[in-house]
């Protein structure tokens, strides 16, 4: 994540990070508010529009960050390295975060294991359990195909983690560190910006889901608190490993554990 030793001003770095966070949210409303497109006819169409908006925001943020950072070498490998996409120490950058994240969510994973053992007991163990496990693995190809056509799976495991980590980790952390912010400050500032970028969830809870003001505040507040904690953890991993694929794996592990 290092550049050529030059730095940028702290105010410019913070302003850029805030602008990217706002852009990440506001662009989602461009199709209906600015382009005046008709409302999506289905949930799938609605999510595809959001996927396109998130992709545009991510690409724009990556390009804008590259021009602000004092980068003198425009080789593809060097630019990708600044964003945490690199070949060196790849396995350490993936395996270590995965193991650490698995330890963090060990309780959920153990609970799922107990559920599997309980199912094994209900099936009588032995041969019947073996047949049950074999039938389970036989259904995996069909499950993969079904998941590939599920827009919610794409949102939770591909589009959301990839775009969010690239914008709020790969772009913001190099900017903050290059501006002279301390590592601890960068670790906690990025998830705070990320959580503030999701305050639009309050609007959805309060208006669309007809929640009371207090209930909507409590739900969104709890979500944002959890987001800040995991975001700080992800930022710590990114700074320590300098590798963004490991953060994506950790995000996926968290989603699977919560699911």
Residues assigned a catalytic role:
164, 198
CA pair distance 34, 29, nearest whole angstrom = 8
CA pair distance 41, 74, nearest whole angstrom = 43
Q: Which of 255, 238, 246, 248 is nearest to 82 (CA)?
A: 238
List Cβ neighbours of 90 (8 Å cut-off, separation of 6 or more): 243, 245
CA pair distance 177, 170, nearest whole angstrom = 11
Tokens describing residue 176: 């903050």
CA angle 165, 254, 22 (to 5 degrees): 30
DSSP state of 27: G
């Amino acid at each position: 994540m290092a550049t050529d030793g030059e730095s940028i001003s702290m105010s410019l770095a913070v302003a850029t990070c805030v602008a990217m966070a706002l852009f990440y949210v506001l662009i989602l409303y461009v199709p209906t508010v600015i382009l005046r497109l008709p409302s999506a006819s289905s949930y799938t169409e609605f999510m595809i529009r959001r996927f396109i908006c998130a992709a545009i925001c991510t690409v724009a943020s990556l390009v804008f960050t590259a021009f602000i950072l004092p980068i003198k070498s425009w080789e593809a490998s060097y630019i990708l390295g600044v964003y945490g996409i690199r070949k060196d120490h790849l396995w350490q950058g993936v395996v270590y975060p995965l193991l650490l994240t698995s330890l963090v969510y060990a309780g959920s994973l153990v609970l799922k294991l107990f559920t599997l053992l309980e199912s094994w007991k209900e099936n009588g163990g032995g041969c019947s359990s073996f047949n049950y496990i074999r039938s389970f693995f036989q259904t995996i190809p069909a499950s993969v195909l079904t998941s590939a056509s599920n827009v919610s799976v794409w949102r939770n495991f591909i589009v959301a983690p990839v775009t969010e980590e690239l914008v709020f980790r790969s772009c913001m952390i190099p900017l903050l560190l290059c501006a002279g912010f301390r590592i601890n400050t960068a670790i906690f500032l990025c998830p705070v910006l990320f959580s503030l970028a999701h305050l639009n969830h309050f609007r959805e809870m309060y208006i669309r889901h007809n929640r009371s003001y207090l209930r909507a505040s409590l739900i969104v507040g709890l979500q944002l608190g959890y987001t800040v904690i995991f975001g700080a953890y992800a930022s710590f991993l990114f700074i320590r490993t300098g590798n963004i694929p490991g953060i994506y794996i950790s995000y996926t592990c968290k989603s699977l554990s919560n699911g």
